[in-house]
Amino acid sequence: MKKILPSILSADFANLEKDIKYMESIGIDTFHIDVMDGNFVPNISFGFPIIESIRKRTNTTFDVHLMIANPEQYVEQFCKIGADMVSFHIEATNHADRLLQVIKDNGKKAGIVLNPQTPIESIKYLLHKVDYVLIMTVNPGFGGQKFIPEMLNKIEELDSLRKLNNYDFLIEVDGGINSETSKLCRDKGVDLLVCGSFLFNANDKVSTLKDLLS
Ligand code: DX5
Ligand code: ZN
């Protein structure tokens, strides 16, 4: 089943609970949560306290996207404070296999993220054990950027490998998703679509959600 994951990076941080509750009321069951450290990416978002606070206010699934250096140092703590899905960038670690194991040992879904320039080849040997692969469709760091169309071939390549080997991981995309790019990605086999600015800036979020899946 294809699903839209609102990225709370585009929510109103002064009214985070309100924005989350509203999204829940229109059918959202999973939120995408972007953690940026000002080192791995040229921007700083938020960390543990914010996630802990919102965890207390909603039972929805939290998909935590770690855009941080040294993820091995923090991954377990994100599992413990209420993430349900945790993904790290392959470019940020030399210990991907170990990191996946830590996330799984904590009972969470484990994902690997690829920057636009990173080939599928770099994670081929891990594909049988990941729960999901997140293909960045912009350079990570900011909401509101333009979708990089060359990523469609990469998605296709990943989906072909999945079919060929009967793997059961999900494919997620993140960055520049709107009603047009959503369709292009879904047609290539994407299951989970992160959407930030396009959804949060929309006046009519109910019909925008419908557009994103039609
Ligand atoms: C970008 C983040 C995204 C961001 C997407 O680095 O990982 O999750 O919130 O925002 P939009 O949908 O506006 O491109
Ligand atoms: Zn993200």
DSSP label of 32: E
Look at the pTM and tell me if it is higher than 0.85: yes
Q: What is the pLDDT of residues 123-132, one digit of tens each?
A: 999 999 999 9
Which segments of the chain does DSSP mark as H helices, in order? 16-25, 48-55, 75-80, 96-105, 151-165, 179-187, 197-200, 205-212
State in Å: Cα 99 to ligand 2 middle.
18
Q: What is the pLDDT of residues 54-89, one digit of tens each?
A: 999 999 999 999 999 999 999 999 999 999 999 999
- Which pair of tokens denotes residue 45? 């978002």
pLDDT at 193: 99
What's the alpha-carbon Rg for the chain, to the nearest Å?
Answer: 16
Q: Which ligand is nearest to the CA of 65?
A: 2
* 32 labelled ligand-binding: yes
* 143 labelled ligand-binding: yes
